[in-house]
């Protein structure tokens, strides 16, 4: 989808439309992407402020049903924003879901099947099923795993402190420049210094912290274009708001190593053994632009309206399976079926030969990933295998 969107944006900057030409030239020259609102205003022929399949073409048409989350046949500003929000900051090198990758498979690399015994079975809805699924032109036997994406082996939260005098045990963590910071009342009170920007003020005169403490507040503040009234808020969505959502993970039983790395597609990048989703990097630019922060809890997770509780960092809180040698424990699976392992081995050493995705291979485990440092805002950086996908049913 990332690749698709880049194509869309490129396409749009190339479409010639008299009224907007000057504006587009400007965007082109400073490298800015058109916003979702601009996308709509430029393609919306009948001016109903949403896009039908007849109004779009090229990649946006090809990916129409994926972008149209509620399947009503129209792409709304909100749906396009959702895609834009999932756009990572670095340029795509991978491929989209429609590309045929059969010629990319490299069978010379040892791979190890997904072991479903590692999952906490009470957290899986209806047991793990097997199904043939076409992934990028390749018929692939996949596990279908449905969960409510809720942690059971550790508490979820806390995230935001309630008063600027609250200690760090009342709140979670935040990160900047690869470093993890404990959030406390003091941390919230000093965000203006932390970001060298005096527009930060997440607390009231009486010292109480402005927290989104309703489901409505959470939804309004968790959008990429944060509602005016929720700017300068500590964003905290509770797991119970979205506890009935079902997340489906479709993961190849036997991972297929590809010669080229792949960017993340729609949805999550993997699953922990408790059934909670590992998500791509949190969109910190969008969050900070509205002077909001959405702290992670001490376990590296927080909640959003699209899939509930999910992790952006691995902190060693979830179920892991120790290895018989000195290698670090396995903590979950990536969406391509390769195992994700902890960063440090039993002797406290970190691997030194990781590739650009955070993976490498050995004779026991075949190709596998190691989770990044918690402050890095990415569990793994890309995929080296044929990707399955996740879906969320609200």
| Residues at the contact surface with Zn ion, assessed by CB under 5 A | 282
Residue number, 75 or 282, with CB nearest to Zn ion: 282
Residue number, 27 or 212, with CB nearest to Zn ion: 212
Q: How many beta carbons lie within 10 A of that of residue 204, not counting itself? A: 11
Q: How far is the CB of 294 from Zn ion (least distance, A)?
A: 7
DSSP character at residue 56: -
> What is the number of the residue whose Cβ is closest to Zn ion?
282
180 with 171: CB under 8 angstroms? Answer: no
Rounded distance between C-alpha atoms, residue 209 and residue 172, angstroms: 14
- Which DSSP helix (H) or strand (E) runs through 217? helix 215-221
Checking 50-58 for CB contacts under 8 A at 24+ apart, the result is 50/74, 50/75, 50/76, 50/77, 51/75, 51/80, 58/7, 58/8, 58/11
Q: How far is the CB of 310 from Zn ion (least distance, A)?
A: 6
Q: How far is the CB of 302 from Zn ion (least distance, A)?
A: 5
Q: How far is the CB of 223 from Zn ion (least distance, A)?
A: 13
Q: How far is the CB of 224 from Zn ion (least distance, A)?
A: 12
In the structure encoding, which two tokens stand for residue 231, read together? 């700017």
Residue number, 96 or 328, with CB nearest to Zn ion: 328
Residue number, 1 or 40, with CB nearest to Zn ion: 1
Residue number, 146 or 327, with CB nearest to Zn ion: 327
Q: Phi/psi of residue 200, each to 5°?
A: -75, 125
Residue number, 110 or 204, with CB nearest to Zn ion: 110
Peptide bond connecting 357 to the previous residue in cis, omega within 30 degrees of 0: no
Q: How far is the CB of 192 from Zn ion (least distance, A)?
A: 24
DSSP lists the bridge partners of residue 362 as: 366
In the structure encoding, which two tokens stand for residue 254, read together? 């036997």
DSSP lists the bridge partners of residue 173 as: 182, 296
Which of 33, 19, 153, 17 has its CA nearest to residue 87?
Answer: 33
Residue number, 46 or 344, with CB nearest to Zn ion: 344
Strands (DSSP E) along 78-221, which ranges? 129-135, 138-147, 173-176, 179-182
Measured on CA atoms in the order 377, 380, 383, 389, is the torsion positive or negative?
negative
Residue number, 50 or 291, with CB nearest to Zn ion: 291
Q: How many beta carbons lie within 10 A of that of residue 216, not counting itself? A: 11
Q: Phi/psi of residue 341, each to 5°?
A: -115, 160
The angle formed by the CA atoms of residues 185, 188 and 191, to the nearest 5 degrees, is: 150
Residue number, 43 or 282, with CB nearest to Zn ion: 282
Q: How far is the CB of 304 from Zn ion (least distance, A)?
A: 5
């Amino acid at each position: 989808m990332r690749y698709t969107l880049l194509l869309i944006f490129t396409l749009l900057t190339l479409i010639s439309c008299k009224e907007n030409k000057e504006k587009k030239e400007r965007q082109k020259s400073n490298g800015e992407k058109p916003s979702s609102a601009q996308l709509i205003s430029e393609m919306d022929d009948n001016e109903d402020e949403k896009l039908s399949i007849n109004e779009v073409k090229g990649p946006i048409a090809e990916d129409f049903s994926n972008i149209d989350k509620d399947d009503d046949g129209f792409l709304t500003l909100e749906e396009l924003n959702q895609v834009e929000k999932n756009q990572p900051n670095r340029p795509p090198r991978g491929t989209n879901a429609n590309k045929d990758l059969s010629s990319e498979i490299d069978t010379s690399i040892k791979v190890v099947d997904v072991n479903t015994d590692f999952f906490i079975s009470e957290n899986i809805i209806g047991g793990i099923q097997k199904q043939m699924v076409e992934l990028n032109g390749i018929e692939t036997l996949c596990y279908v795993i449905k969960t409510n994406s809720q942690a059971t082996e550790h508490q979820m939260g806390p995230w935001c402190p309630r008063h600027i005098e609250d200690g760090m045990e009342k709140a979670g963590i935040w990160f900047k420049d690869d470093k993890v910071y404990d959030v406390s009342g003091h941390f919230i009170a000093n965000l203006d210094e932390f970001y060298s920007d005096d527009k930060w003020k997440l607390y009231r005169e009486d010292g109480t912290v402005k927290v989104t403490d309703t489901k409505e507040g959470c939804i309004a503040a968790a959008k990429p274009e944060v509602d005016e009234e929720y700017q300068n808020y500590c964003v905290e969505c509770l797991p119970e708001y979205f506890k009935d959502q079902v997340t489906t993970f479709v993961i190849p039983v036997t991972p297929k190593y590809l010669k080229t790395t792949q960017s993340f597609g729609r949805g999550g990048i993997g699953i922990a053994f408790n059934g909670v989703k590992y998500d791509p990097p949190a969109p910190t630019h969008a969050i900070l632009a509205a002077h909001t922060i959405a702290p992670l809890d001490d376990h590296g997770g927080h909640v959003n309206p699209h899939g509930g509780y999910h992790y952006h960092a691995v902190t060693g809180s979830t179920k892991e399976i120790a290895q018989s040698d000195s290698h670090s424990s396995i903590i979950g699976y990536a969406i391509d079926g390769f195992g994700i392992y902890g960063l440090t081995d039993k002797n406290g050493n970190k691997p030194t030969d990781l590739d650009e995705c955070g993976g490498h291979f050995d004779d026991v485990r075949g190709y596998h990933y190691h989770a990044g440092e918690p402050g890095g805002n990415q569990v793994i950086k890309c995929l080296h295998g044929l990707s399955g996908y996740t879906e969320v049913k609200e």
